[in-house]
């Protein structure tokens, strides 16, 4: 077999998390992308191409972790401590160049299944070698970026050999038909940091670099170099070269962890803001209802006053007519009686206004 180029590589990076961070990470990496988190480099229209495999009869790595935590309590009589690094994540990176080459030859579905089978082999070899309990695999084909299509082959061009229309990377871009999606082809393999056979949390022992033949501490950790060997072994017959050794880190993946936490904070802040607006609107409506009630009472009162004024005007008109008749007939007795009525009417009007 022809030795693979530098582009055809497989490598693994590892990360570890405590329970709270683990929940957020597992929500994000689920192959179906049905969690509450959304990453900016995920193209949801391509999420249907993702694949997965879960252990212990679970439907997600999150569910598998809960099952194993329950088993841990049954076996040891103790809950997993919240300050323990409960989740050990392996991110396996596969060369897009080599994957696309295989897909053109065998088809995307066959290659995807072959990749899942080899990732399972890797997960089980990690358990055999170190004791970590496998939870599941989420294979992501929906992350990446768009690049311009080129007709000529170029060693430095990530779209090399894309003139073949059956190439799976030839995905239509809404913005430009000449754009091609270059995938970040990778898988998240999750392990619980516990060995039920050995009754230990293997990560603590794995972190020790050990000493060389001279009795000095090794510069690099041979355990993590071993992981590169384990992940390369099942992929070698697909033309993948071994990736460069990487050390474990709890920092690099904090970017995604922080993204999840920040997203959660944003959502909480939005809910609080909406609740405040809702409270303000209810207060405004209540205030306006009170004002409307006062105005309605004033209108009723003014209608009553208007009715009384009209009635009083009619009475004054009658008195005026009677006075005119009395003056005409020169009746002093009637005039005195009418003046008393006028005084009484004026007095009633004053009393009505005081009400």
Task: Check: CB of residue 30 under 8 Å from CB of residue 16.
Answer: no
Stated pTM of the model: 0.62
Q: What is the pLDDT of residues 190-227, one digit of tens each?
A: 999 999 999 999 998 888 876 566 556 566 788 888 99
Give the least confident one: 17-31, 72-86, 315-329: 315-329
What rounded mean pLDDT belongs to the chain? 80
* Whole-angstrom distance, CA of residue 335 vs CA of residue 329: 10
Give the least confident one: 27-36, 39-48, 104-113, 194-203: 27-36
For 98-253, strand residue ranges (E) read 133-140, 144-148, 179-183, 186-192, 241-242
Q: What is the pLDDT of residues 246-287, one digit of tens each?
A: 444 444 444 555 656 666 677 788 888 888 888 889 989 988
Q: What is the pLDDT of residue 111?
A: 96
* Whole-angstrom distance, CA of residue 195 vs CA of residue 227: 17
Q: What is the pLDDT of residue 250?
A: 45
The residues with which 242 forms a beta bridge, in sequence order, are 10
**221 vs 132, 215, 245, 248, 275, CA distance in Å?**
17, 15, 9, 9, 52
């Amino acid at each position: 077999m022809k030795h693979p180029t530098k582009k055809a590589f497989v490598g693994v990076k590892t990360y570890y998390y405590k329970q709270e961070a683990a929940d957020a990470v597992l929500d994000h990496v689920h192959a179906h992308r049905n969690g509450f988190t959304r990453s900016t480099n995920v193209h949801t229209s391509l999420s249907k191409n993702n694949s997965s495999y879960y252990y212990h009869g679970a439907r997600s790595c999150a569910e598998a972790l809960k099952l194993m935590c329950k088993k841990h309590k049954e076996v040891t009589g103790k809950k997993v401590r919240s300050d323990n690094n409960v989740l050990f994540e392996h991110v396996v990176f596969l060369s897009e160049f080599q994957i696309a080459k295989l897909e053109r030859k065998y088809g995307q579905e066959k290659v995807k299944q072959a990749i899942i089978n080899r990732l399972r082999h890797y997960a089980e070899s990690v358990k055999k070698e170190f004791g970590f309990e496998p939870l599941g695999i989420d294979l992501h084909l929906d992350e990446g970026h768009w690049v311009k299509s080129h007709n000529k082959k170029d060693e430095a061009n990530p779209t090399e050999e894309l003139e073949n229309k059956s190439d799976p990377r030839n995905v239509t871009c809404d913005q430009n038909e000449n754009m091609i999606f270059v995938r970040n082809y990778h898988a998240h393999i999750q392990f619980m940091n516990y060995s039920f056979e050995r009754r230990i949390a293997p990560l603590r022992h794995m972190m020790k670099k050990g000493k060389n033949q001279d009795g000095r501490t090794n510069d690099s950790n041979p355990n993590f170099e071993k992981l590169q060997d384990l992940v390369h072994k099942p992929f070698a017959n697909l033309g993948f070269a071994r990736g460069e050794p990487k050390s474990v880190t709890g920092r690099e993946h904090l970017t995604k962890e922080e993204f999840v936490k920040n997203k959660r904070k944003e959502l909480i802040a939005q809910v609080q803001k909406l609740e405040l607006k809702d409270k303000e609107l209810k207060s405004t409506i209540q205030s306006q209802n009170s004002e409307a009630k006062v105005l309605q009472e004033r209108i009723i009162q003014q209608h009553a006053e208007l009715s009384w004024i009209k009635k009083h005007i009619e009475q004054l008109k009658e008195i005026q007519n009677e006075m005119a008749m009395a003056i005409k007939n020169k009746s002093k007795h009637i005039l005195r009686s009418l003046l008393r009525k006028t005084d009484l009417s004026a007095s009633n009007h004053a009393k009505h206004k005081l009400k």
